[in-house]
Structure 1
Amino acid sequence: MSHTPVKQPTLPFWQVWNVSFGFLGVQFGFAMQNANVSRVLSDLGADLHSLSLFWLAAPVMGLLVQPIVGAASDRTWNRFGRRRPYILGGAFAAAIGMLLMPNAPLFVAFMAPMIFGGMMLALMDGAFNVTMQPFRALVADMVPSEQRTLGYSIQSLLINIGAVFGSILPFLLTNIIGLENTASVGEVAPSVTWAFYLGATVLFGTVLWTVIRTKEYPPEQYNAYKGLDADALAHANRPRPLTAKLAEFWQLFINMPKTMRQLAIVQFFSWFALFIMWVYTTPAITQYVWGVDAKWFDPVFLHTLDEIPAEIAAAKGAAGDWVGILFAGYSLFAAIFSVLLTKIARKMGRKPVYALSLLAGGIGYLSFLLFQAGEPTLVNLGITQVTVPAGALGLVLPMVGVGIAWAAILAMPYAILSDSLPADKMGVYMGIFNFTIAAPQIVSGLFAGWILNSVFDNQAIYIIMLAGVAMVLGAASVIFVKEDDAAPAV
């Protein structure tokens, strides 16, 4: 049973800002992870074909943690709030993981540094998910419907700011502060280490700001604003056997709308490609653009040496920094395209825009082959100047396509899907849809490393080509998605 809701008060602009401010730090941490973890794990001794196995921690943690934490925060009411305990606890754990990961060599007496690094990756990603899920719910809780567009616009702005600066931080520390970006055998470059330290500080600081500056509504007030009946909620949330919950979930899963099934195919190809990009862009451009042979990513070979030659260490460091620039680039292009996406979709239709955006991403990946080595080129980035191979500068162009695809992947599937879902099952089906994000990444993690080693002889540029093919297949799969599918009776 529901009641007529009491009008929820509008919030001053800066209170809406405060509610979302911690998103900046969370995305800062995510971007640090995406741009640098493959570099860190390689420095710690992980070989190329095992990198994707370490990265499995990310989708597995998302698959396990988000539904559990989301359900738990729905049922939590205590003197610290409803969402805030999870947000703060997750941020604290993520910050600990970020502080410890680059210090993995200190724990060599207990386990191999790369294993410790993999454990910290799992801790960070699990903690990011603990923070992110209730954070999204906090915005919906606190911001009234007439300010919801403003709230999520601020959230999108902060997410993209965090993504850009989190991606380029090691580059800034090297080229502005002057920290060393080369790593000895089994060590992590100082610029990356300090980037993780600063990332942990930004993450925890911004989240703490939101937790301190946001006062959640008590249960009675919240229920009045949302038109909810406390007794009905208590009955719906009553304890039930796990078997009953699983049976209900299974019925919803097998009766999912056809549109969701069709979108799942598109999601498989697009997220399979994204996972490959996050894992293998660093070794791909280090080999292909900076000309570093694949043997320099082989830990067995590296441990036969007393030290890595200076020119190899410098090339790997410079390439790793440039990946941060490229990842910041696609985040920036995604932010720009996101502003235009709704208007373009109104004119062209959602499916054509979705398909063309994925095609742009696929072409972006495939065009990596066009940018190899080249003459040293001085690049003026405004804040500093850096010399890179001409091919590295050219790789900014493919990032336009990748950014367009990323913006569409974050928006268009949900816009298409929402019309086909029953209103009373919207939340649970959106949770089920998260499987279409995690599952392809798990498949990619299990098989991409084997493909790289067995089929491509550890030439990482060709695994990026595989990502391009996958993204093009995703674009083609949009053709088979039907938007007018009726919601099933469940």
Structure 2
Amino acid sequence: MPATTNRLPVGFWQIWNMCFGFMGLQFGLALQNANVSRIFQTLGAGIDDIPALWIAAPLTGLLVQPIVGYCSDRTWGRLGRRRPYFLAGAIVAALALIAMPNSPTLWTAAALLWILDAAINVSMGPLRSFVGDQLPSSQRPAGYAMQTLFIAAGAVIASLLPWLLAQFGISNLAASGGIPDTVKLAFYLGAAVLFGTLVWTVLSTREYPPDVLAAFEDAKPAAPPTPLPAHVRYTGALWCAAGLAAFLAIRLTQADARLHLLAAGLFAYGAIQLVAGYSRARNPFTAIVADLLTMPATMRQLVPVQCFSWFALFAMWIYTTAAVTSAHFATEDTRSAAYNDGANWTGVLFAAYNGFAVLAAMLIPWMTRRLGLRLSHLLNLVLGGCGLLSFLLIRDPHWLLLSMVGVGFAWASILSLPYALLSDSVPAGKMGVYMGIFNLFIVIPQLLAASLLGFLLKTFFGNAPIYALLIGGVSLMLAALCVLRVGAPTGDAGSAFGQ
């Protein structure tokens, strides 16, 4: 590759090829989001069991993304730096998609969800970092917008698939009350799309070698390894104590057992600080912990925004099927035609919000030029909150399509604007690890949701799943308020997003 002082601007089709794999990844995620609760319920899961069964999704991201990000920063071979991870994740995720709708038991389905999510995370983090590696600063917002378009397009098609297949005469009821053929065929098609799009990105793109990336003028200077904060042992001990206290309180009050996950999270956060603080040698673990504890200011300010946003999204993904089938189709019998019609309609709704996200992705550059990144993100999160809250007011399921307009704008904004705010503050040599760390604040709120949502619904809302969407709507409103704490980006960020 020729010597240059900066990343070369790239054309439309090069950005297309870089981001094309996102369509396949989102195909897999959308099939998961719209159908896994349906699979769980069909295999015998109760409403209050669903969050715990979904714990695989955020937990695998929590464990996999920082490690994969750290490793991909240090990888270089025949396929480059990030592309080996695209390919490995694609192979495993495609196999998991084929197996999942054929699960003989509930626990088999839960185990396959772990495998599927781990594989998608192996590809997802490096694919986000890939855009930051390859594009000059002025084109990164456009790259993340292209990602949003592909994510939305893949999700629209994947979410609609069971409903579309039913329109073409594929059976939407299994004779034995198991998984319908519409769902099985949708997952098989999803496996082919996921594998094919990621292989396209692997074969159609090239990467800058690490030494070339480090030499670019717009690359932040290589920094020495980040030291651990001096107080890491003290704060680690405090977090461990908080976790133990929470565990004892749950045991003594005989509270919902799922709250133990919250206590375990507090203790684990303290434990990793203690282990890092008492480690005598620098190693990948201590390096990741040090980068986590000393993250850039912009990332730290975005943490509560991300946490409230993804708590809301997780509530929507795992409870919309149960909410729509019970509140709008008046059934909880998973063997009934009404339930399966309602579950298919949930897929249509998920396709709709992703379709509206395509429209939003086209409008967001215009919004940011006039309102700036922060105010645009705030407005879109408020629209999403209103969309989820409206589920409690609307009774005709067809009118729920209107609710998904707001959700679509929030989704498009969540997928793009935080990364546009963040990307220029991250050193090029640590793009992978920081993107992995940023992903923690996507998965941690999902773990909190898995711990809290079942408890909240059972304790305060009579186990009615529709109220999970109320909680999600309020959470998006809180995320919008937290945007006000994020510092203004340097330069004309709104204008840059529109380039």
* Superposed pair shares fold, TM > 0.5: yes
2:151 equivalent to 1:159 = yes
TM-score for both structures, normalised by structure 1: 0.79
Structure-2 change in CA distance of 1:314 and 1:345 (3 Å)? same
**1:331-480, aligned counterparts within 5 Å?**
331-372=354-395, 391-417=396-422, 428-480=433-485
3-state SS, counterpart of residue 484 of structure 2 = helix
Query: How far did residue 99 of structure 1 move?
Result: 0.6
Structure-2 change in CA distance of 1:319 and 1:74 (3 Å)? same
Contact persistence 1:420–1:484 (CA under 8 A): no
Structure-2 change in CA distance of 1:324 and 1:421 (3 Å)? same
2:215 equivalent to 1:227 = yes
Query: How far did residue 13 of structure 1 move?
Result: 5.3
Q: Distance in 2 between matches of 1:147 and 1:419?
A: 11
Q: What letter matches 2:476 in structure 1? A: M
TM-score for both structures, normalised by structure 2: 0.77
Task: Tell me the equivalent position of 2:316.
Answer: 277
Contact persistence 2:55–2:450 (CA under 8 A): yes
3-state SS, counterpart of residue 20 of structure 2 = helix
Further displaced range: 346-355 or 44-53: 346-355
Contact persistence 1:102–1:188 (CA under 8 A): yes
2:188 equivalent to 1:197 = yes
Structure-2 change in CA distance of 1:31 and 1:252 (3 Å)? same
3-state SS, counterpart of residue 103 of structure 2 = helix
Contact persistence 1:39–1:320 (CA under 8 A): yes
Per-residue CA shift, 1:218-248, capped at 9, x if unaligned? x5xx63476279xx99x98xxx976554445
Identity of aligned residues (%): 46
Query: How far did residue 89 of structure 1 move?
Result: 1.5
Query: How far did residue 6 of structure 1 move?
Result: 5.8
Query: How far did residue 140 of structure 1 move?
Result: 4.7
Task: Tell me the equivalent position of 1:100.
Answer: 99
Match of 1:266 among 300, 305, 309: 305
Contact persistence 2:89–2:122 (CA under 8 A): yes
Task: Tell me the equivalent position of 2:202.
Answer: 211
Query: How far did residue 342 of structure 1 move?
Result: 2.9
Structure-2 change in CA distance of 1:267 and 1:156 (3 Å)? closer
Q: What letter matches 1:51 in structure 2? A: I
Task: Tell me the equivalent position of 1:26.
Answer: 25
**1:112-131, aligned counterparts within 5 Å?**
113-131=105-123
**1:67-146, aligned counterparts within 5 Å?**
67-105=66-104, 113-141=105-133
Give ranges in structure 2 of 5+ residues lacking alignment: 226-278, 491-499
Task: Tell me the equivalent position of 2:274.
Answer: none
Contact persistence 1:97–1:120 (CA under 8 A): yes
Q: Distance in 1 between matches of 2:338 and 2:114?
A: 28
Structure-2 change in CA distance of 1:88 and 1:257 (3 Å)? closer
Task: Tell me the equivalent position of 1:289.
Answer: 328
Root-mean-square deviation (Å): 3.3
3-state SS, counterpart of residue 434 of structure 1 = helix
Per-residue CA shift, 1:450-476, capped at 9, x if unaligned? 222333222111121111122222223
Query: How far did residue 262 of structure 1 move?
Result: 3.9
Q: Distance in 2 between matches of 1:28 and 1:262?
A: 31
Per-residue CA shift, 1:86-138, capped at 9, x if unaligned? 21121110011001001112xxxxxxx11000111111111111122233344
Contact persistence 1:5–1:226 (CA under 8 A): no
Q: How many residues in Structure 1 have an aligned counterpart in Structure 2?
A: 433
Query: How far did residue 439 of structure 1 move?
Result: 0.9
Task: Tell me the equivalent position of 2:237.
Answer: none
Q: Distance in 2 between matches of 1:479 and 1:409?
A: 15
Contact persistence 2:145–2:361 (CA under 8 A): no
Structure-2 change in CA distance of 1:339 and 1:169 (3 Å)? same
Query: How far did residue 146 of structure 1 move?
Result: 7.5
Contact persistence 1:43–1:185 (CA under 8 A): no
Task: Tell me the equivalent position of 1:327.
Answer: 350
